[in-house]
Structure 1
Amino acid sequence: MGTYITVALPTIIMKLIGKQLLHDFGEKHADARSQLQSWEAEVEAAEWKTPQDVRNRYPKVTLPGNLQAIFDICRNKYRLWVQIAYKTGIVLIKKIGTHKEYDKWQFK
């Protein structure tokens, strides 16, 4: 019989970068403010390790690339584009805008 060692992997809580974009957008679009605040709090408490973890919480999220996600805000009136580094736990806010603005975004 051998000896087994159990290794606990560290829990990585997501760090949100670019929060000022959310706050500025919320100031201009008051109808989005509370949903953006809720989204921010949820992300900062999340432990996303894969795109599937994001989809499990947000079933309607668009995942245009392995490290990107587009969230619907206010029932698709607004869109929020983020880049996610799962290994380091960083969520970088790239853009937030109206759905009309979103139609012009290029994802690379």
Structure 2
Amino acid sequence: MRIVSHRKLREFYESRGREDAKVALERWYQIVEEAQWANLSDIKTDFPSVDYVGNQRYVFNIKRNKYRLVVVVKFRMGYVFIRFVGTHAEYDRINCATI
């Protein structure tokens, strides 16, 4: 899959107090970059805890649910668009269906 954009992940884990997310986010990136997902089942093979929240958006638990990552997946195009990365508390304050 092609991921847009890696910079959002880097900016997140390079910010103060979030350095502990680096390994988990880079591992997520590596797995997704090598994947060829066609549907939710394919994503669940790589990430069993992923949740589909509607409007082509998927939520990944990062670092044992300390962080959340929301992406839009365009299966036919082979693209994954990063929409949000943040703490669980920050995630609770957003509307994933529209972010």
What TM-score comes out, normalization by structure 1 length?
0.84
Correspondence 1:11-90 to 2 at 5 A: 14-28=1-15, 29-65=18-54, 67-90=56-79
Residue 21 of structure 1 aligns to a residue whose secondary structure is helix
User: Greater strand percent: which structure?
Assistant: 2
Question: 1:51 touches 1:67 (CA, 8 Å); kept in 2?
Answer: no
Identity rate, percent:
37
Gaps of 5+ in 2: none
Residue 39 of structure 1 aligns to a residue whose secondary structure is helix
Gaps of 5+ in 1: 1-13
What TM-score comes out, normalization by structure 2 length?
0.91
Q: In the alignment, which of 86, 91, 97 is matched to residue 102 of structure 1?
A: 91
Q: CA deviation at 1:57?
A: 1.4
Count of residue pairs brought into register by the alignment: 95
1:6 aligns with none
Query: Cα RMSD (Å) of the superposition?
Result: 1.0
CA distance in 2, matches of 1:65, 1:59: 17
CA distance in 2, matches of 1:101, 1:56: 27
Structure ID, larger Rg = 1
Q: CA deviation at 1:66?
A: 5.8
Q: Deviations over 1:14-60 (max 9, x none)?
A: 10002111001111211100111111111110010011110121111
Residue 38 of structure 2 aligns to a residue whose secondary structure is coil
Runs of 4+ in 1 over 6 A off after TM superposition: none
